Amino acid sequence: MNETNDRTAIAVHNVTRRFQRTGGGEVIAADNMSLTIPRGEFVCLVGPSGCGKTTMLQMIAGLLAPSEGEIEVDGRKVTGPGPDRGVVFQKDSVFPWMTVIQNIEYGLKCRGVPAAERRALARRYLAHVGLEGLEESWPRELSGGMLKRVAIATVFANGSRVLLLDEPFGALDYVTKHQLYDVLLSLWSEDEQHRTVVFVTHDIDEALLLADRVLVFKAGHIAADLSIDSPRPRNTESLLQPAVVAHKRTMLEHIGLRPSGGTA
């Protein structure tokens, strides 16, 4: 096993992932990539479609296996999905045949958590995401933004130390997105476990509002590794700060978009 320290949540060691093209040939989605993510860090993976960011998240989740190399979470090699990693996808990830509270309790029930304890945990996280009073509602009765709140409450309630989010807010309107940024960051910053978050997005502003650190992906490589030091809470005015504008310019240049004029 590769050497990692006690502060490392995720370690990617010389990982390559190949996909076979229909009709022959191959695509390399990750090319000999290595990175470490400390515990408690909020990291955004940014880049255009096809750059390898979602492939990397799926390998960390254990949904895809590397063609070469290995990935460790909390010092253990990833060989498949596990309860130590919670995943939220862009598409709705709630069970339509279960009520809201049954969805949130499901993972806890599978782990054998007693009924009273899991019900209390589910209610606590429902209140935190602003859905108190909707425990017995069905998913079909909720808006897209509400369904994302259910998904966020579920991964936090399940106790996973690492949270993996793949463009979870991509289909939502501007106002709903920003409301959910506040919900997610509030849960993450106030949580006693201080969980590690890996968040895939193609939206540069979203990354700058959310992340401690941004990894810019380009053609299966990490083109830039940026620390975002802007104080929290952040808002759209934060994006106008000179240091943030400089980060945005760097990100745009790495993904092949040169900002015009004097600002990004």
Rounded Cα gap, residues 258 and 264, in angstroms: 8
pLDDT of residue 260: 52
pLDDT band, residue 262 (cuts 50/70/90)? very low
The C-alpha angle 87, 3, 220, rounded to 5 degrees, equals 50
Task: Count structural domains, the chain.
Answer: 1
Structure tokens at 199: 């968040």
133: left (phi over 0), alpha (psi -120 to 50) or beta: left
Domain that holds residue 15: 8-84+160-254
The model's pTM is 0.91
Band of pLDDT at residue 209, cut at 50, 70 and 90: very high
Q: 10 Å Cβ neighbour count for 255? A: 18
Q: In this structure, is residue 188 part of a structural domain?
A: yes
**In terms of Cα–Cα distance, which of 224, 210, 228 is closest to 256?**
224
Report residue 43's pLDDT band, with 50, 70 and 90 as the boundaries.
Answer: very high
The answer to the question of residue 128 being in a domain is no
Residue 169 domain flag = yes
Amino acid at 36: T
Residue 77: inside a domain, yes or no? yes
Q: Give the number of other Cβ atoms within 10 Å of residue 98's Cβ.
A: 14
Q: For residue 29, what is the domain's CATH number?
A: 3.40.50.300
Inside any domain, residue 90: no
Give the model's pLDDT for residue 110. Answer: 87
- The answer to the question of residue 104 being in a domain is no
Q: What is the pLDDT of residue 204?
A: 93
